[in-house]
């Protein structure tokens, strides 16, 4: 094999791939002893899903001392480099070319932050997951077939990661070879056909890459069509110009909204609505548009969305002055306070 011993190059290899890296203090010395020859990468999800998942991976849990993987991949695509030594992540299992029930001394473990029960995998995270695996395998001189899901290896019934490893590995193989993603012209063309009644003339000849280098988009007279291979099952989605104005204010697909996940809805004479990975945009005709998301968005949904008593959003979320967030709607205000009750509602108060 190309490398024997601890992968002290992990942070450098990920950074060289253009990935965001946080090096945890002491990572080069952390581990349950030294690696033998390195044979691949194992993909996991944390089953937590929050910003503190890395703590368990680094420190362990009762009965299982950390580290529990070498790398943690945050939801924004940032890698935390936790350990260069052996970590307890693989358990019992088998894979061709790997020692049965003994992968921890031969395989780098990556824990992707996801609750594993329906939480979305943001495009930035999945993109970084594939690129990180490709960069490590390129360094090891190994093929994409040595990028293995815990669920594929395990003889103990592990189910992580909860995404399709076959298509994941296919993309890792393309990245190792350094070739671009598969051509996508047809998906954007197909969406343009669906939207032909309103979207108008095509302004972009062909397609342009999005900021993540993986997605594509094309501009039309009355809207823009976005495509990403791992969003909406690889189908392209049109965003009308009226919502594009608001989408632009929040940084397009590289902002917190991410890519569109549903086609837009027109409320005749009132406004437009469209769901994105990180929230939903609402824009009444003649007014600014705003995103609704998170805890406040859930509460507003429970109140009946824009057709409920609160009506349409008339502000973005803002600091409520006591460490929480507030958002104004046509007929009231929703507040979320992390220190006290989860949320409170002041319908018909001074929200306007």
Tokens of 241: 């110009």
Closer Cβ to Zn ion, 107 or 239, answer by number: 107
Q: Which of residues 154-183 bind Zn ion (CB under 5 A)?
A: 160
Q: How far is the CB of 6 from Zn ion (least distance, A)?
A: 21
Q: Look at residue 121 and give its three-state secondary structure.
A: coil
Q: Which stretch binds Zn ion (CB under 5 A): 6-14, 79-87, 99-107, 145-153?
A: 145-153
Distance in angstroms (rounded) separating the CA atoms of residues 31 and 273: 49
Closer Cβ to Zn ion, 151 or 298, answer by number: 151
Q: How far is the CB of 130 from Zn ion (least distance, A)?
A: 18
- How is 130-179 classified by DSSP, letter by letter? HHHHHHHHHHHT--GGGEEEHHHHBSS----S-S-HHHHHHHHHHHHHTP
Q: Which of residues 44-83 bind Zn ion (CB under 5 A)?
A: 44
Q: Which of residues 193-252 bind Zn ion (CB under 5 A)?
A: none
Q: Is 333 in the site for Zn ion (CB under 5 A)?
A: no
Q: Which of residues 18-37 bind Zn ion (CB under 5 A)?
A: none
Rg (Cα) of the chain, in Å, rounded?
23
Q: How far is the CB of 150 from Zn ion (least distance, A)?
A: 3
Give the CA-trace dihedral at 33, 34, 40, 46, to 10 degrees.
30
Q: How far is the CB of 56 from Zn ion (least distance, A)?
A: 12
Residue linked to tokens 């609505």:
273
Closer Cβ to Zn ion, 71 or 257, answer by number: 71
The single residue among 150, 169, 284, 343 that binds Zn ion, judged by CB under 5 A, is: 150
Could you tell me how many helices (H) and strands (E) the chain has, helices first?
A: 8, 20
Q: How far is the CB of 161 from Zn ion (least distance, A)?
A: 8
Q: Which stretch binds Zn ion (CB under 5 A): 143-151, 179-187, 258-266, 271-279?
A: 143-151
Stated as kind and residue range, the H or E segment containing 225 is strand 223-227
Q: How far is the CB of 332 from Zn ion (least distance, A)?
A: 44
Tokens of 286: 């003649």
Size of the site for Zn ion (CB under 5 A): 3
**DSSP-assigned letter for residue 315:** S
Q: Which stretch binds Zn ion (CB under 5 A): 15-23, 39-47, 198-206, 276-284?
A: 39-47
Distance in angstroms (rounded) separating the CA atoms of residues 179 and 297: 40
Contacting residues toward Zn ion, per CB under 5 A: 44, 150, 160
């Amino acid at each position: 094999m190309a490398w024997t011993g601890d992968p002290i190059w992990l942070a450098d290899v990920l950074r060289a791939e253009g990935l965001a890296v946080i090096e945890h203090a002491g990572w080069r010395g952390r581990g349950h002893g030294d690696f033998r020859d390195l044979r691949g990468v194992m993909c996991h999800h944390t089953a937590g899903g929050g910003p503190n998942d890395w703590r368990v991976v680094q420190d362990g849990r009762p009965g299982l001392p950390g580290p529990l993987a070498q790398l943690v991949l945050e939801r924004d695509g940032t890698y935390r480099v936790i350990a260069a030594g052996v970590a307890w992540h693989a358990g019992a299992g088998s894979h061709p070319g790997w020692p049965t029930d003994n992968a921890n001394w031969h395989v780098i473990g990556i824990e992707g932050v996801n609750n594993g029960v329906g939480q979305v995998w943001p495009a930035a995270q999945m993109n970084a997951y594939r690129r990180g695996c490709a960069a490590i395998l390129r360094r090891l001189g190994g093929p994409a077939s040595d990028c293995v899901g815990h669920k594929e290896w395990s003889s103990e019934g592990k189910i992580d990661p909860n995404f399709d490893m076959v298509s994941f590995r296919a993309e890792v193989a393309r990245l190792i070879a350094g070739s671009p993603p598969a051509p996508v012209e047809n998906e954007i063309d197909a969406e343009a056909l669906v939207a032909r009644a309103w979207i108008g003339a095509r302004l972009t000849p062909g397609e342009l890459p999005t900021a993540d280098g993986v997605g594509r988009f094309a501009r039309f007279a009355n809207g823009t069509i976005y495509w990403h291979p791992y969003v909406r099952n690889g189908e392209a989605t049109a965003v009308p110009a009226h919502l594009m104005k608001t989408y632009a204010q929040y940084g397009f697909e590289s902002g917190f909204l991410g890519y569109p996940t549903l086609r837009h809805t027109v409320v005749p004479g009132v406004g437009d609505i469209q769901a994105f990975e990180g929230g939903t945009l609402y824009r009444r005709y003649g007014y600014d548009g705003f995103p609704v998301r998170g805890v406040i968005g859930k509460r507003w949904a429970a109140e009946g969305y824009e057709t409920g008593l609160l009506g349409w959003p008339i502000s973005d979320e803002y600091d409520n002055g006591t460490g929480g967030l507030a958002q104004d709607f046509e007929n009231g205000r929703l507040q979320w306070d992390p220190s006290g009750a989860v949320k409170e509602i002041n319908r018909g108060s001074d929200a306007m």
